[in-house]
Chains A and B, each alone.
Chain A
Amino acid sequence: MSNVLQLKNINKTFGEVAAVHDVNFEVGTNEIVGLLGDNGAGKSTLVKIITGYHHPDAGGEIFWKGEKLDHLSVARAHQMGIEVVYQERALADQQSLWRNIFMGRELTHHGGILNVRGMREETRKLMRTSMGFTSSAITTESTVKTFSGGERQGVAITRALYFEAELVILDEPTMGLSLSETKKCLDFVDGIRKAGKAAIFIDHNIFHVYAVADRIVVLDRGTIAGQFMRNQLSLQELTDRLYHVAQTGQLEQ
């Protein structure tokens, strides 16, 4: 399997703290990679490096479809087709639904003039086809602060889908969701695989990760403690090994 994304020797320090240390990581085309790790393991930092929000320390290399990227920015990552559903959803509460869908990537005419009608129309379509907002109580003008956790997650995921991602990164996507909403979220990840795209699925909940991932990578204290194909281990064995990682920092192979 060829890689859509490859990270080599990635380090990231904030002052004295090494958030990520000597990480080598790859995602294959049409592969769902589950990323597991405790709080402070470096998962979110790694995501922010992949999306161009943070730049790795000198020496680290990032490859996209085999091509080395010299300077990855958020805008460049978007252009290449890397989309993220952040754990904090990355929504602007006081703004309308359509402004949130097109946040940072507004549809414009010449000179940066907003194509407001176009964005409202696209949002209206997405409400029907992807978000499932059928109630007249929610319109394209509704502010996101009035939405439930599931609705907010729907907006964040729909936004990632709309821009036709090659690689979707889901950072704690099931956090705060009800059971039925979680099921829909996991179905969505399965849909990414069926569509021939790749995904990184990050979660604390090993049951959720195990359910959808092809390969599981375990991050601990900023380093990759180990990785394995999902079909190599049962859920019980995975649980035992994660417990071992938490104690020793090493994953039994």
Chain B
Amino acid sequence: MSDNNIARPLSETVGAGPVVRFLRKYALQLGILAVGIIVWLLFVVGSPRTFMSGDIYISFMTTTPYFALMAIPLTLVVITGEIDLSFGSVMAFGMMGYAVIFKLTGSFWLGFVACLIFGLAAGLLNGIIVVKIGVPSLVATIGTQFLLSGAVMIVTNGAGIGMTEMANSGLHTALVGKAFGVIPMQFFWTLIVAAVIWFFLNRHRFGAHVYLTGDNIDSARLMGVNVGRTKIIAFCIVGFMAAFAGFVVSAAVQFYWPTLGSGYLLNTLASVFLGGTSVFGGMGTIFGTFVASFIIGAINAGIVAAGLTGFWTSFIYGLIIVASVSIQTVISRRLH
């Protein structure tokens, strides 16, 4: 040992084999995977006819992406220690951009680009309000939720717009068509988005700064991390992806409702928190959110298959959010 050694491990006598280290390192991911398998087994036992059929899984792959596409990027914002509750309104706001540009140009593609730009702008607005003005994100994004949905209602006058013209377009096929005649394309988009965001979170400087910002914002600042920029980028990604999800949902049903997005708040948040992302920031995985999204999707189907009314879904999603966050709080208190 060199003279510069100033510290010795507290637990030098405690050995940890590779299996234990693996379990510790991937505890979050393994935990959510175990929850997923248990939930699935319960449904298979409870409703074997439904859950042994391939149709239900095609159904999951069709509808789960609608909120998984937002839950996955929302994980970034929550890891930075912030929250975004406006994504539902951003779905409708982005589509408002589509509607305006499509009406002006008649181009699906330009409308699609406008939709994404509107979403990005909404995310930037959230980021600026939170970072530059200093409004807590909970309050800021509740405010922008109403602001954006209000803007949508003013511009559209509350009327929906049909999108049947794009039914046979390449854009429609690429976003919500069927791969191999069976698998919904939105499922592949969810996989791609999860893979790209996983990469940036785990293998890029931006992701490293996301974790550091949420873990200890003062330390991150002291060590030269641009925490403000990191948060703004995270909000922008959520805005962009919410607009993308809004387009996917609208393309699938070939109709744009100005109230689009109002039903996605609970299941999106439940996916993030059930997936193990800490409400206190600094911790969370894309894998966890991805798996949790499909658990949430399965719970929705399971409730129906079990013969319960749809009213139970809100109750159960709420229960999942409260339970997940409570467990995190207890664990966090013990660690500190």
Q: Is A187 an interface residue (CB 8 A)?
A: yes
Whether a CB of chain B sits under 8 angstroms from the CB of A104 is: yes
Tell me, yes or no, whether B7 is within 8 Å of chain A by CB.
yes
A121 at the interface (CB under 8 A from B): no
- Is A148 within 8 A of B223, CB to CB? no
Q: Besides the contacts A132-B8, A134-B8, A138-B11, what 12 more A-B pairs have beta carbons closer than 8 Å?
A: A84-B222, A90-B222, A93-B282, A93-B335, A103-B212, A103-B219, A134-B1, A134-B12, A135-B9, A137-B9, A141-B21, A155-B7
Partner among A137, A146, A161 whose Cβ is within 8 Å of the Cβ of B12: A137
Inter-chain contacts of B224 with A (CB < 8 A): 73-75, 78, 104-105
B6/A129 in contact, CB under 8 A:
no
Chain A residues with a Cβ under 8 A of chain B: 48, 51, 53, 73-75, 78, 84, 86, 88-95, 99, 103-106, 108, 112-114, 116, 129-139, 141, 145-148, 150-155, 157, 161, 181, 184-185, 187-188, 191
**Which of B101-109, B201-209, B259-267 makes up part of the contact surface?**
B201-209
* B320 sits at the interface (CB 8 A): no
Verify if B16 is at the interface (C-beta below 8 Å from A). yes
Q: How far is the CA of A179 from the CA of B13 in the complex (A)?
A: 21
Q: Tell me if B157 is interfacial: C-beta within 8 Å of chain A.
A: no
Q: Are B5 and A90 in contact (CB under 8 A)?
A: no
Contact A157 B6 (CB under 8 A): yes
Give me 11 A-to-B residue pairs in the complex whose CB atoms sit less than 8 angstroms apart, sorted by A's number: A90-B222, A92-B211, A95-B211, A104-B223, A114-B203, A130-B5, A136-B16, A138-B9, A147-B7, A147-B10, A181-B7
Q: A68: shortest Cβ distance to chain B, in Å?
A: 22
The residue from A53, A130, A141 contacting B25, defined by CB atoms under 8 A apart? A141
Contact present for B223 and A90 (CB under 8 Å): yes
Q: Could you say which residues of chain A place their CB within 8 Å of the CB of B212?
A: 92, 95, 99, 103-104
A184 touches B215 (CB 8 A): no
Are A53 and B12 in contact, CB atoms less than 8 angstroms apart? no
Docked Cα-Cα span, A103 to B4, in Å, equals 21
Cα of A129 to Cα of B11 in the assembled complex, Å? 19
Nearest-CB distance from A105 to chain B (Å)?
7
Complex Cα distance A161/B4, Å? 10
Q: State the 3 A-B residue pairs at the shortest beta-carbon distance, nearest first.
A: A154-B7, A132-B5, A104-B223
A19 CB to nearest chain B CB (Å): 17
Residue of A nearest to B1 (CB): A132
Partner of B219, one of A88, A150, A161: A88
Please judge, given known A-B contacts A104-B225, A135-B12, whether A150 and B208 are in contact too, CB under 8 Å: no
**B55 at the A interface (CB under 8 A):** no
Interface assignment of B151: CB less than 8 Å from any CB of chain A: no
CB neighbours (8 Å) of B14 from chain A are: 135, 137
- The one of B203, B206, B219 in contact with A92, judged by C-beta atoms closer than 8 angstroms, is B219
Chain B positions within 8 Å of A89 at CB level: 219
Does any Cβ of A come within 8 Å of B221's Cβ?
yes
Asked if B238 is at the interface of the complex by the 8 Å CB criterion, the answer is no
For B25, the closest partner residue in chain A by CB is A141
B222 touches A86 (CB 8 A): yes
Compute how far the CA of A114 lies from the CA of B209 in the bound complex, rounded to whole angstroms: 11
- A74 near B223 with CB under 8 A, answer yes
Residue among A94, A129, A136, A184 facing the most chain B CB atoms (10 A cut-off): A94
A153–B5 CA distance with the chains assembled, in angstroms = 11
Of the residues A74, A84, A90, A136, contact of B15 by C-beta under 8 Å? A136
> Would you give the shortest CB distance from B42 to chain A, in whole angstroms?
32
Question: B203 contacts which chain A residues (CB < 8 A)?
Answer: 113-114, 116
**In the assembled complex, B95 has its CB within 8 A of some CB on chain A:** no
Alpha-carbon gap, A41 to B212, bound state (A): 30
Tell me the complex Cα distance, A184–B202, Å: 35
- Take A90-B223, A94-B283, A104-B225 as given contacts and tell me if A148 and B208 are in contact as well, using a CB distance cutoff of 8 Å: no
Which residues of A are found within 8 Å of B221, using beta-carbon distances? Answer: 53, 74
B2 at the interface (CB under 8 A from A): yes
- A-contact bits for B9-51, CB 8 A (1 contact / 0 none): 1111111100001000100000000000000000000000000
Q: Which residues of A contact B207 (CB under 8 A)?
A: 114
Interface residue from B204, B216, B283 paired with A114 (Cβ < 8 Å): B204
Q: B211 touches which one: A99, A105, A136, A191 (CB < 8 A)?
A: A99
Q: How far is the CA of A196 from the CA of B55 in the complex (A)?
A: 73
Please indicate the chain B residues that have their CB under 8 angstroms from the CB of A48 in the complex.
222
Residue of A51, A95, A116, A191 touching B282 (CB-CB under 8 A): A95
Q: Do the beta carbons of B215 and A92 come within 8 Å of each other?
A: yes
Q: How far is the CA of A92 from the CA of B218 in the complex (A)?
A: 9
The distance from the CB of B4 to the nearest CB of chain A, in whole angstroms, is: 5
In the complex, are the beta carbons of B10 and A148 less than 8 A apart?
yes
Report the separation of the CA atoms of residues A27 and B56 in the bound assembly, to the nearest whole angstrom. Answer: 71
B6 contacts A92, CB within 8 Å?
A: no
Would A137 and B11 count as touching, CB distance under 8 A? Answer: yes
Docked pose: A95 CA to B210 CA in angstroms: 11
Whether A145 pairs with B216 at a CB distance below 8 angstroms is no
Contacts A92-B216, A93-B216, A141-B21; is A106 near B205 (CB within 8 Å)? yes
